[in-house]
Structure 1
Amino acid sequence: MSALIGIETLIITVIILILSASWRLYQTRKYYRNVTSKLPTLYGIPFVGQAYQFLDLNKLYHNISLNIDTFKKLTGCIWIANTPFVVTVDPEVIKHVTNSPVFLNKATDLYKHFHNGVINGIIVSPAKKWKTNRKAITPFLAHNNIMAFFSYFNENAINMKNRLAELAGQGEQDIFTIIKECGLQLSFLTIMGIKMEEGTETYREIVQAFNVIIDLMAKNSIYSSVGLGFLSNTPQYRRYREYLRDLVRSLIKKNLSREAKNHFEEDKQMMIDLALKSMRQGIFSEKDVEIECFTMIAASYETSVSAAYTCLMTLAMHPEIQERVFQEIRSVFPDGITAVEYDDLKKLPYLDMCIADALRLAPPIPYIGREAIHDTELCPGVILPKNMQVVIPIYELHRRKEIWGPNANRFNPDNFLPENIAKRHPSAYMLFSKGARNCIGFRYAEISLRIILLHAIRNLKFSTTFKFEDIVHQPKVTLSYQIEPPISIEIREN
């Protein structure tokens, strides 16, 4: 008898929970009806929405493209679980969102994986705190300071070129690992003023920890979309997170000691120096110093290495274009490269076109999201309520045939000839986002990437049997690959 009562109680409880959840879903959909009635909307399964489409990472970008095609417009609404997101690849709407002060906040749900106590600084800070922190950090990325880092950029690029040269004649090899390791060295050097020695146990541990954290953050971003973010909070994740936090704290202490002894490089402002200065002025807390430094290390490392690998891999798959880039570089550096200077970068228009189109097809940051600070008009007749989130899938934007033509999915540097750029909407290409809240480090990234490519392509020839059309992209924190194509290397004689 008691068992029957227990079952009845359980059934009643389940029914009450379902009814309660259904009522909340009804109220939520009613709240957003002014938006969903005016934009094409994909509701999906009750309580799940379209979230099931995003669990298979190999098909994620394909499914996003299909959804936008289903809209039959460039802007629509997609329900993920019980949350609606506006999704847009309309350059005019994108221009409004990225330039409006109403959308200075990052989309809460899209960036949940950054709220991990490690990488939740300037990337996801609310608008008010972001403005203050960005102002404090800006001198690190100012033109004159980046110019002072040229010796570091060249030294790092030469080291990477030499390590890649060791793989010459060995057939197709993993070059991404070398690029990652060299990229992490550069990040620690310019941001923390610390030179990481290759081959040491600490060096190996740091590289492994970064890779694990990035992998688990990617899983967290997917799980969080369906309310299951806790599944990625594994003991391994917590262990490596604490390891990296302790590492950054120890580096901050070393820099405080260095500061006390006045051992500064007068011509360079490291990120850590500026952060500690802000702490003395009461702008940053000690926790802010830790988080902003770590955020800058992770952001510069992850985007830079992804971009460098993508460009070298793309050129390896297009040998005739790689040869044309090599000839252009050789015309500027006929006797080889000792060091790249800033003025040299202005003499390589075809290299710039190749970089732009390679990263159009594989943008390191494949999507961004903004959130309305208050009720606002998105486009004529569509009023978004406060806190509604707008997602801009940059990966899809860069491949829309309405914008880039019937061969939008092919690598074609001519897309960036001046006359072709002039025909497109300025917001059709947004590698480093747009507007006030664009990527603060874009100049650092552009310059360091070009110096890496110049040293590598001037001295080495890259090839692969992996076909460009067989690439499958996946989202992690930055864009990644289901299979990272291996690359063959030959040493150039001239």
Structure 2
Amino acid sequence: MMQFIVLIAAILLLVASLYLHQKQRSFRQITSKMPTLYGIPFIGIAYEFINLSKFYERVSIGFDELQCLTGCIWVATTPVIVTVDPEIIKNVTSSPDFLNKSRDLYSHFHNGILNGIIVSPVKKWRADRKIISPFLSHSNIMSFFPLFNGNAKRVKQKLTNVVGCGEQNVLDILKAFGLQLSILTIMGLKMDEGSEEYNKMMDSFNILVNSMAKNSVYSAVGLSFLTETPLYRKTKKYVRGVVRSLIKENMNKLAESDKLEEYEESNQTLINLALKAMHQGQFTSTDVEIECFTMIAASYETSAIAVFSTLVMLSMHPEVQERVFEEIKSVFPDKVTSVEYDDLKKFPYLDMVIAESLRLAPPIPYIGREAVNEAKIRADITVPKNMQIVIPIYELHRRPEVWGPESKRFNPDNFLPEKIAKRPPCAYMAFSKGMRSCVGFRYADISMRVLLISVLRNLKFSTTFKFEDLVFMPRVTLSYKDEPKLSIELRNN
């Protein structure tokens, strides 16, 4: 019996080996034109990325080994093109042939609550984006300014309360208020920060994000089932229930309204647009749940980490922080009562600082595209349908071939107009690029700047954490292995 089992196993291994060999041969028209890392048969090089704290270091080493800005790697039995070449990135992100998201890179989003517009196939994405685009229109974002300012004031007050209390976990504060703002602008409902329901929701979001981060790595080697723990399943059920209850509240408001048109005029939140689409047969109730939750999760997480990274960089570079403060003070000599849209044009140096902070710590650290049809990525390379291309933005922003020999140093002068003009457009893409870039970029960018202007006018930040000790982790958004804690002082002028 044992001999029979061994024989069957040997035959299966032989068949699998022949299949893998044949598959590798079928991709030689691509791999012969670029350096390729094959790794271990049936595993590829995926095992090298299991240690999340070494993930970005390993990516950097991988490009050094390839000795090229574009190469091919085998992940299990799947070839994937990885590139930090700005010209290829431009071709991919601007091409209608690459409007699908990479199936493997975004597998962790397919959990029943986040697989909305972020990962939708191109046909569904086009239709759904048209439905929700009014929420992200310029005029609608302008209507959110009172909410952005209100959020900034609450964050400033919370931070003021811990002035002189030693180093604080500022990111938790930013996430808490960011989630509150997202629910308010997206669902039109106010959740009191600090309430039992609110704290439970925050904890659930953190569990969800951590589990998805592990899933994104484990799925590459066929071990995604390891993240399907009872806690993860319980958390997904709870979060889905919360979103359904928020939707129900809005549906009750709609039912109380005499006319749908009157309700729409008074409520331009995302939930309003989604319910309208459901009323018209364009969305199912599940679509409403998924799109609303996806937008909440994406907006609060990316905004919070972007603000935090900027504060961290300013804390580590006090001379830069003082220059930012003087710029803000020149516009608001006494205090910030309200930041309006026209005010945002008055802070060129702050904009440079934010851009440089997000260069070194991009909220979206990597993106992936998949060929809808056979397509060219450069003149001599045509990729087949369904070929996946990964763009590690974190590494792109640090490659010396793109940013010079001091590419890993914090230097806001990288974003002087004359330096921007000399770089390829796709050398910098903190919120991705092209038609499938971050849909909430304008929302995140404006809310972030309003918050930073308000906070930095009154408060001064410092830290004992060293810049060279920063280690980043590849979660759903960029995260820190050890989050720097920040000390806060009150400014007297």
Q: TM-score if structure 1 supplies the norm length?
A: 0.98
Equivalent residue, structure 1, for 2:201: 206
Q: 1:68 aligns with which of 51, 58, 63?
A: 63
State yes or no: 1:58 paired with 2:57.
Answer: no
| Per-residue CA distance 1:183-236 (angstroms, 9 max, x = gap) | 100010000011111221101100000000000000000000111111101110
What is the distance in 2 between the residues matched to 1:9 and 1:21?
18
- Contact 1:58–1:473 at 8 Å: present in 2 too? yes
Structure 2 Cα separation of the partners of residues 422 and 199 of structure 1: 46
* Pairing partner for 2:218 from 202, 220, 223: 223
| C-alpha distance in structure 2 between counterparts of 1:107 and 1:198, whole Å | 36
Matches within 5 A, 1:344-355: 344-355=343-354
Partner of 1:422: 421
Instruction: Please tell me whether the aligned partners of residues 264 and 272 of structure 2 are also in contact (alpha carbons under 8 angstroms).
Output: no
Counterpart Cα distance in 2 of 1:311 and 1:153:
18
Asked if the contact 1:432/1:438 (under 8 Å) is kept, the reply is yes
| Residues 337 and 268 (structure 1), Cα distance of their counterparts in 2 relative to 1, 3 Å cut | farther
Q: Secondary structure at the match of 1:84?
A: strand
Residue 155 (1) aligns with residue 150 (2): yes
Offset at residue 37 of structure 1 (A): 1.2
How many residue pairs were aligned?
Answer: 489
Counterpart code for 1:296: M
Q: C-alpha deviations, 1:140-168, integer Å up to 9, x for none?
A: 00001001000100111110111111111
1:473 is aligned with what amino acid?
F
> Paired residue for 2:284?
285
The question of 1:303 aligning with 2:302 is answered yes
Moved more, 368-377 or 136-145: 368-377
Supply the distance in 2 between the matched residues of 1:351 and 1:269 (Cα, whole angstroms): 30
Instruction: Check the 8 A contact 1:145/1:268 in 2, yes or no.
Output: no
Query: 61-70 or 388-397, which moves further after superposition?
Result: 61-70
For residues 56-455 of structure 1, what are the structure 2 equivalents within 5 Å?
A: 56-262=51-257, 264=263, 266=265, 268-455=267-454
Answer yes or no: is the 8 Å Cα contact 2:364–2:430 preserved in 1. Answer: yes
CA displacement at 1:20 relative to structure 2: 2.3
- Structure 2 counterpart of 1:475, one-letter code: P
In 2, Cα distance between the equivalents of 1:32 and 1:186? 48
AA in 2 matched with 1:38: K
**How many Å separate the matches in 1 of 2:266 and 2:399?**
45
In the alignment, which residue of structure 2 is the partner of 1:3?
A: none
Partner of 2:9: 14
Distance 1:154 1:415 in 2: 29
Which amino acid is the alignment partner of residue 491 of structure 2? R
Task: Tell which deviates more after alignment, 7-16 or 38-47.
Answer: 7-16
Q: Deviations over 1:41-78 (max 9, x none)?
A: 00011111111111011111111111112222211101
Which string of whole-angstrom CA distances, capped at 9 and with x for unpartnered residues, describes residues 366-413 of structure 1?
000000112122212211111010001100110111111111001110
- Letter matched to residue 67 of structure 1: G
Q: Is contact 1:171-1:489 (8 Å) kept? A: yes
Q: 1:123, 1:345 → 2: CA distance?
A: 28
The answer to whether the 8 Å contact 1:149/1:268 transfers is no
Could you tell me how far apart the structure 2 residues matched to 1:238 and 1:20 are? 37
* Amino acid of the structure 1 residue aligned with 2:151: N
SS in 1 for 2:8: helix
Query: How far off its partner does 1:267 sit?
Result: 5.7
Greater mean deviation of Cα atoms: 326-335 or 7-16: 7-16
* Unmatched tracts of structure 2, length 5 or more: none
Instruction: Tell me the distance in 1 between the aligned counterparts of 2:164 and 2:116.
Output: 44
Aligned partner of residue 438 in structure 1, secondary structure:
coil
1:419 is matched by which residue type in structure 2? E
CA distance in 1, matches of 2:442, 2:194: 30
Q: Distance in 1 between matches of 2:379 and 2:34?
A: 11
Q: What one-letter code is carried by the residue in structure 2 that aligns with 1:255?
A: N
Contact preservation (8 Å) 2:472, 2:479: yes
Q: How far 1:438 sits from its partner (Å)?
A: 1.1
Q: CA deviation at 1:433?
A: 1.2
Distance (Å, rounded) in 1 between the aligned partners of 2:15 and 2:282: 45
Measured after TM superposition, the shift of residue 17 of structure 1 is: 2.3
Offset at 1:466? 0.4
Q: Which amino acid aligns with 2:399?
A: R
1:466 aligns with 2:435: no
Q: TM-score, normalised by structure 2?
A: 0.98
Contact 1:366 1:393 in 2 (8 A): yes
Code of the aligned partner of 1:191: I
Q: Distance in 1 between matches of 2:26 and 2:350?
A: 50
Partner SS for 1:435 = coil
Q: Is the 8 A contact 2:177 2:193 kept in 1?
A: no
Q: Which residue does the alignment assign to 1:33?
A: 28
Q: Which amino acid aligns with 2:272?
A: D
Runs of 4+ in structure 1 over 2 Å off = 262-268
Cα offset, 1:264, TM superposition: 4.5
Contact 1:148 1:267 (C-alpha < 8 Å) held by counterparts? no
CA-to-partner distance for each residue in 1:311-332, whole Å, 9 max, x for gaps?
1111011101001000100110
1:16-41 Cα offsets, whole Å, 9 max, x none, are: 22112212211221221211111110
Per the alignment, in what secondary structure is the counterpart of residue 382 of structure 2? strand
The offset of 1:265, in angstroms, is 7.9
For the residues of structure 1 that align with 2:23 and 2:129, how far apart are their CA atoms? 35
Runs of 5+ unmatched residues, structure 1: 1-5
Q: Distance in 2 between matches of 1:268 and 1:89?
A: 42
Identity of aligned residues (%): 61
Letter in 1 for 2:318: P
